[in-house]
């Protein structure tokens, strides 16, 4: 290289490295900035460098500190745009198409992460998504043992049929309702991770101050990212060894590689295989398969007559978590490599035979729950208009246990997602939070009474802008474990914990027990979820004169063999959502704590509950089950009553506590 060229290159590199102001990744073209509040803008520059920020006739300057960090707070702006945001130091950054409006954080686990492209009527919703003043930012998935200052990547997307499919569905339908009513630009910051517990979204300093979590925090205080991985590696190796021994005690071996290639064939002898009821995930049915990641074969036979022999057919297998290869009489009829899609496969001509036919399915699970799940009515084979149910007892055998050592996952330790996905967003100006989470905390529902309000206070403390709106979704109906008053219901106890969080100021809750899916933990009707959250915001934030809340239990009075219940949020009055006017979902108990199905009727703004089986009642429960969809008490404004109980008898989750498992 010539000396002159080398010198020019060095000068060029010098100017690139000097004075290059940077801004946090949360700022990009098409962003939405919060109206009517100071607007923090921050980033990095050279130590002690002067940074200038210009926005819509405002001009502010600040000197970076000794580490290069800087922040300015623009004066509050009214809604409008598009504007430009310019930041200057040794270089100049310009962001275009910036709107000022309302910013909402959308956070939680998979039901908030659930995308528009997977909802009911997704094709129609996507085609009609012409709302360019709705913008969406996806916080990238990441974990960290210590608080991060910056996101790894990210951009703001303008809502259109080309982009909306990847938006949070609940967030989008929430924003759409608000925009239709207010015409104010809406920005959504989507910070979600499926299957996560509330503790991973909470900061270290808050958990350390809480008696319930202080001991855990002391135990993990010395961990860094490398030691987290090493601890997880040791735990994974131990788990794989223990799991393999449990499976061998169940079925004799994990797999016999001499005959595994025969397991899909009709004449294979599976008489010694253990049995399992399907649909149903294996973790919930077979204790030896708890936390199994790997592959399991399932087999079931059915009988056909001469009239069905050789005819084409269609097999339905509900949902499979994660992947499957499905055989009939040794012939591969279909395979799918996604966990949340119903399996429906065409069976070619001449595959089916007279007499015994065998379905064999290899299910592979890479993490979380595994197996075949969903509605029993969705497990069937249809041959020439003959419907043969495949629900019921299946033979199964574990083919393999995953030997993959997993990296650190969000639930392995507290704070990991707060550190990496929330802290870098603070103090971006926003109006409030919508939250959909709790399924992964259901087994510790009693402790959620502490953990969930703690998270709300934690985020409010760190944003330091007062008690901003925090609206959340109460768990939808889902038959997680056939839980009810007799057996106990972790999901009912979790809903109760969510209900109790309403004692915090400026909170609101959308009840969704009527729009869940008893066979699917991810109900596809996210439109009504978004609408119900939006109604709370429209009333409490945007001043609309509407009823926005579900009836909530207020008090009870015993009169003879009847209990009289009164409610908050009756709106235009109570009603039974039933064409015959009968109330369902109520139970009543005497001093023996045994609940009986009860009769109930509405009298004014009260509900009268009684049963011939209980002469001296002391307690009532409503919707107290994993699947609470039977309950049909509403107000006249269309909102279902929240499940509740009047007793304080010990539940099934009271002794369950948070652990990190290492």
Tell whether the model's pLDDT for residue 16 goes beyond 50.
no
What is the band of 570 on the pLDDT scale with cuts at 50, 70, 90? very high
Write down the pLDDT at residue 5: 40
CATH architecture label of 254-401: Sandwich (2.60)
The DSSP H or E segment spanning 111 is helix 110-113
Cα-flanking dihedrals φ and ψ of residue 457, to 5°? -65, -35
The DSSP H or E segment spanning 271 is none
Across the range 260-269, mean pLDDT stands at 90
Please state, rounded to an integer, the average pLDDT across all residues of the chain. 92
Write down the pLDDT at residue 312: 95
Q: What 3-state class would DSSP assign to 455?
A: helix
Q: Which of 471, 504, 305, 502 is nearest to 388 (CA)?
A: 305
* Most confident of the following: 179-183, 254-258, 319-323: 179-183
The DSSP H or E segment spanning 563 is strand 562-568
Percent of the chain's residues with pLDDT above 90: 80
Yes or no: say if 138 and 166 are a contact pair by the CB < 8 Å rule.
Answer: yes
What is the band of 1 on the pLDDT scale with cuts at 50, 70, 90? very low
Tell whether the model's pLDDT for residue 183 goes beyond 50.
yes
Tell whether the model's pLDDT for residue 190 goes beyond 90.
yes
Compute the CA torsion angle 77, 78, 81, 85 (nearest 10 deg).
Answer: 0
Write down the pLDDT at residue 7: 36
User: Which residues make beta-bridge pairs with 589?
Assistant: 595, 619
Provide the residue ranges of all domains of the chain, joining segments of one domain with +.
Answer: 254-401, 554-645
Does the N-terminal peptide bond of residue 427 adopt cis geometry, omega within 30 degrees of 0? yes
Cα-flanking dihedrals φ and ψ of residue 101, to 5°? -170, -130
User: Which residues make beta-bridge pairs with 321?
Assistant: 371
Write down the pLDDT at residue 571: 94
pLDDT tens, 342-369? 899 999 999 999 999 999 999 999 877 8
Q: Which of 77, 66, 72, 75 is nearest to 42 (CA)?
A: 72
Write down the pLDDT at residue 406: 67
pLDDT tens, 412-460? 889 999 999 999 999 999 999 999 999 999 999 999 999 999 999 999 9
Q: Which of 573, 438, 575, 588 is nearest to 516 (CA)?
A: 438
Q: Which of 114, 130, 102 is nearest to 170 (CA)?
A: 114
Tell whether the model's pLDDT for residue 291 goes beyond 60.
yes
Q: Residue written as tokens 């035979």?
A: 353
Tell whether the model's pLDDT for residue 26 goes beyond 90.
yes
The DSSP H or E segment spanning 8 is helix 3-17
Does the N-terminal peptide bond of residue 322 adopt cis geometry, omega within 30 degrees of 0? yes
What is the band of 258 on the pLDDT scale with cuts at 50, 70, 90? low
Tell whether the model's pLDDT for residue 10 goes beyond 70.
no
Across the range 585-608, mean pLDDT stands at 97
What is the band of 400 on the pLDDT scale with cuts at 50, 70, 90? confident
In this structure, are strands 470-473 and 432-436 parallel, antiparallel, or unpaired? parallel
Cα-flanking dihedrals φ and ψ of residue 98, to 5°? -90, 130
Give alpha helix (H) positions in 396-526: 416-417, 445-463, 490-500
Say how far apart CA 651 and CA 658 lie, in whole Å.
Answer: 17
Residue bearing the bigger pLDDT, 66 or 7: 66
Across the range 155-176, mean pLDDT stands at 98
Say how far apart CA 22 and CA 44 lie, in whole Å.
Answer: 5
């Amino acid at each position: 290289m010539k000396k002159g060229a080398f010198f020019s290159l060095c000068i060029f590199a010098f100017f690139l490295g000097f004075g290059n102001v940077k801004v946090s990744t949360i700022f990009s073209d098409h962003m939405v900035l919060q109206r009517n509040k100071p607007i923090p803008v921050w980033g990095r520059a050279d130590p002690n460098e002067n940074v200038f920020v210009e926005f819509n006739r405002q001009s502010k300057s600040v000197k970076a500190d000794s580490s290069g960090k800087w922040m300015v707070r623009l004066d509050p702006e009214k809604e409008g745009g598009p504007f430009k945001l310019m930041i200057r130091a040794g270089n100049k950054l310009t962001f275009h198409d910036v709107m000022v409006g309302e910013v909402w954080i959308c956070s939680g686990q998979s039901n908030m992460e659930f995308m528009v492209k997977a909802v009911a009527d997704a094709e129609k919703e996507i085609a009609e998504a012409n709302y360019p003043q709705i913008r969406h930012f996806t916080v990238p998935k990441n974990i960290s043992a210590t608080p991060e200052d910056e996101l790894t990547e990210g951009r703001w997307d303008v809502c259109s049929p080309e982009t909306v499919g990847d938006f949070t569905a609940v967030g989008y339908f929430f924003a759409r309702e608000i925009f239709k009513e207010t015409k104010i630009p809406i920005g959504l910051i989507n910070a979600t991770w499926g299957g996560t517990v509330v503790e991973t979204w909470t900061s270290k300093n808050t958990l350390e101050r809480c008696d319930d979590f202080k001991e855990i925090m002391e135990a993990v205080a010395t961990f860094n990212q490398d030691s987290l991985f090493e601890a997880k590696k040791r735990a994974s190796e131990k788990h794989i060894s223990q799991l393999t021994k449990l499976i061998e005690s169940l079925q004799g071996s994990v797999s016999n590689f001499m005959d595994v290639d025969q397991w899909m064939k009709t004449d294979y002898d599976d008489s010694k295989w253990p049995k399992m009821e399907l649909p149903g995930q294996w973790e919930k049915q077979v204790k030896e398969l708890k936390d199994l990641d790997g592959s399991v074969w399932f087999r079931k036979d059915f009988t056909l007559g001469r009239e069905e022999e050789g005819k084409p057919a269609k097999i339905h297998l509900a949902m499979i978590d994660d992947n499957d290869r499905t055989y009939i009489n040794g012939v591969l009829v279909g395979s799918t490599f996604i966990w949340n899609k119903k399996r429906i496969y065409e069976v070619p001509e001449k595959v089916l035979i007279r007499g015994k036919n065998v379905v064999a399915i290899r299910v592979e699970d890479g993490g979380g729950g595994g197996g075949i799940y969903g509605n029993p009515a969705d497990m069937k084979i249809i041959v020439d208009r003959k419907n043969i149910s495949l629900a019921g007892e299946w033979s199964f055998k574990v083919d393999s246990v995953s030997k993959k050592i997993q990296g650190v996952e969000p639930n392995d330790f507290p704070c990991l997602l707060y550190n990496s996905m929330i802290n870098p967003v603070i103090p971006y100006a926003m109006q409030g939070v919508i939250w959909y989470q709790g399924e992964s905390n259901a087994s510790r529902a009693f402790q959620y009474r502490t953990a969930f309000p703690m998270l709300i206070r934690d985020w409010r403390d760190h944003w330091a802008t007062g008690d901003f709106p925090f609206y959340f979704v109460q768990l939808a109906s889902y038959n997680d474990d056939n839980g009810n008053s007799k057996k106990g219901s972790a999901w009912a106890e979790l809903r109760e914990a969510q209900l109790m969080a309403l004692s915090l100021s400026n909170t609101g809750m959308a009840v969704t027990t009527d729009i869940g899916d008893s066979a699917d933990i991810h109900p596809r009707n996210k439109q009504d979820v978004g609408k119900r959250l939006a109604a709370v915001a429209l009333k409490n934030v945007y001043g609309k004169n509407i009823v926005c809340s579900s009836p909530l239990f207020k008090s009870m009075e015993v009169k003879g063999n009847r209990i009289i219940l009164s409610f908050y949020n009756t709106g235009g009055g109570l009603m039974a959502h039933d064409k015959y006017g009968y109330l369902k979902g109520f139970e009543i108990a005497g001093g023996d704590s045994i609940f009986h199905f009860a009769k109930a009727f509405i009298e004014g703004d009260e509900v009268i509950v009684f049963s011939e089986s209980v002469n001296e009642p002391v307690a009532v429960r409503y919707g107290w089950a994993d699947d609470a969809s039977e309950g049909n008490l509403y107000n006249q404004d269309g909102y279902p009553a929240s499940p509740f109980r009047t007793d304080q008898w010990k539940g099934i989750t009271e002794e369950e506590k948070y652990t990190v498992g290492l």
